[in-house]
A and B are shown apart, each in its own frame.
Chain A
Amino acid sequence: DSGVTQTPKHLITATGQRVTLRCSPRSGDLSVYWYQQSLDQGLQFLIHYYNGEERAKGNILERFSAQQFPDLHSELNLSSLELGDSALYFCASSVQDGLGQYFGPGTRLTVT
């Protein structure tokens, strides 16, 4: 157990819908990163937050957005869902920017 939690574990929804994925970092970690892992694919960096501020964006679609709250948990919002958005979504946290990232268990999103 890395200490990073993600909810829900599984999510099944229809095309066109909107969902919110939640991530709670390890106690004391200020950085949260979001990644997408499609079936049999590698990890794609989506976005990075540090202490409530957005630090960097990767290959994140405009339909996706995220935020980090004062208690440091983070939410990834996915809207106008398409079949191709079906994937595993991981968040990871670290004390300092990037060093020693700890991944959460992931949320498996299925869009039907």
Chain B
Amino acid sequence: GAGVSQSPRYKVAKRGQDVALRCDPISGHVSLFWYQQALGQGPEFLTYFQNEAQLDKSGLPSDRFFAERPEGSVSTLKIQRTQQEDSAVYLCASSSRRGEGNTGELFFGEGSRLTVL
């Protein structure tokens, strides 16, 4: 697609529920990032994929958070047993076409706003 697409845009979950957030990156982009943006804060890094390989998951706040990108395109961020502190906007970004130099620039989706009650 023309841009990074995320779904759902809004998700309300009861505490303890599992949620799945989807990211469809720009076609051909090799790199995919997930960020978490709490209210009034800047985005904070969660995890990074190069194609289907998850190369960095150092930002995932707990083992309740899990991300995958099985075919090197669409990615899913899953949060198990959601807690109130998980309430945030989850941003997906992609970059770097195969064979092109790295510009360092990330292209962001509009985010998925998760509210845990």
Chain B binds chain A: no
